[in-house]
Structure formats: C-alpha cells, structure tokens
Amino acid sequence: MIKITEWKMFKRQAPAAAITGNIVAKKQFQRLWVAGSLGAFFTSLARTLPGDIRNVTVETAPHTVLRYLYMIWFISYFFVSNLRTQSNEIPEVREIPFDVIQSIAGLTAAFFLDFLVTNEHHGISAFAAASFAIAAICGFALFWFRRDEPGLQIARLIGFLLALCVGIAIMAGYVASWMLWTSVAILFLLLAMFTLIRIKGPEVSTTPLAGPAKKVT
C-alpha cells in the first residue's frame, strides 16, 4: 500500500524538518566529495614523489617539475574550494554538479600527468590534458556563477582563454618551453587572485541552514 503524506496530498508546504534535512544532506555530500577529491590528489602525489626523485635526470627534470607544478596547482585550487564548502551557506543549484565536474576534470588531468597509474607516461600531451581540464573548470564556473564577484569572473575568463589556447597549441604540435612555463606562472597568479577574493568574501554564516519551522495551515 502506497503511503502518501498529508502535505503532499493537499499540496501544502513541506515541513521545515524535511527541507532542512534535504539541505544538510546536499551540504554533507558536497563537503565529502570535495574533501575526497583533495585526498585523492594528496595520495597520488605522495605515492609518485619518491619514484620521481629516484629516477629524475638532467634531461627529464624540466618535464618533471612542470608535472608537479600543474599538480600543485590542482591541489591548491581544490584546497580553496574545500574552504568554500565548509560554510553553512545553502548550496546553489549548480554548485554540486560543478564540484563533480571539476573533480572529474582534475582527476583526469592527474591521470595524464602520470600521478594515478605508475609506469604509464603520456609525454607532452599530459600538459594539454591538464590545460583542457583547467579550461573546463574555468569555463563552467564562468557561465554557471555569473553573479560572483567581478574579480573572480575576470580570473576565470583569463584562465579559460589561457588554458584553452595552450592546450590547442600543444595538440597542434606547437610546443615551446617558454609557453608552458609562462602559462603555469600566470595560472598561479590567477590562483592567488582567486584565493584572495575568496578569503575577503562574505563572512561565513553562523545561522542554521534553514529558518524556524512555519506553521502549516
């Protein structure tokens, strides 16, 4: 026998407890997802570092350093994102899908950067994959969160265009060391700008996720 709650049958407002529980569940999922992605990045970095230190040579050192710079960028970015999810603010409609997308993009970049699977090297194409992953993250954030601070949107736009152009240039066969080093330096500057804006953003709310229960009439 199907049980239909009274508030659904008469199309009344859902009880505040049900709304609060739904919000809390979404917030907990968001926090666990971002923290899990950050943990995966740290684990892959710690597992790969000893082997790379043993096997690095003068010829492979620039490539290895660039791989780690890209990985450190992703870890730093997800750390800042994890700070955002610790607030008690109600998640926006597209926040959780965005967290899922950026986690998949970041882990895909980590795979091509040779951090997830040992002894599977992708050469210069690894930097193209990492650049496309950054472009995807910046692009989705740029269009989904248009109401954010103008400074954030500017950083996202520059990051999107820069990463997309670098990825396309690498895939087209135009590979120059100065291009890679310069793009990484700019990405870190944009990340610093992103972090400062997040830190100086609105104060973290200390109020409950939902207001007091309203009387249903």
Please report whether residue 163 resides in a domain.
yes
131-164 pLDDT, tens digit each: 999 999 999 988 888 888 888 888 899 999 999 9
58-72 pLDDT, tens digit each: 888 888 899 999 999
Angle among Cα 107, 136, 199 to the nearest 5 degrees reads 85
3-state secondary structure the chain: CCCCCHHHHCCCCCCHHHHHHHHHHHHHHHHHHHHHHHHHHHHHHHHHHHHHHHHCCCCCHHHHHHHHHHHHHHHHHHHHHHHHHCCCCCCCCCHHHHHHHHHHHHHHHHHHCCCCCCCCCCCCHHHHHHHHHHHHHHHHHHHHCCCCCHHHHHHHHHHHHHHHHHHHHHHCCCCCHHHHHHHHHHHHHHHHHHHHHHHCCCCCCCCCCCCCCCCCC
Please report whether residue 206 resides in a domain.
no
Please report whether residue 217 resides in a domain.
no
Which of 45-54, 65-74, 123-132 shows the lowest mean pLDDT across its residues? 45-54
pLDDT value at residue 87: 59
Domain assignment of residue 126, given as a range: 15-199
Please report whether residue 207 resides in a domain.
no
Please report whether residue 216 resides in a domain.
no
Question: Cα–Cα distance between 213 and 11 in angstroms, integer?
Answer: 17
Please report whether residue 174 resides in a domain.
yes
Please report whether residue 173 resides in a domain.
yes
Please give the tally of structural domains in the chain: 1
Please report whether residue 214 resides in a domain.
no
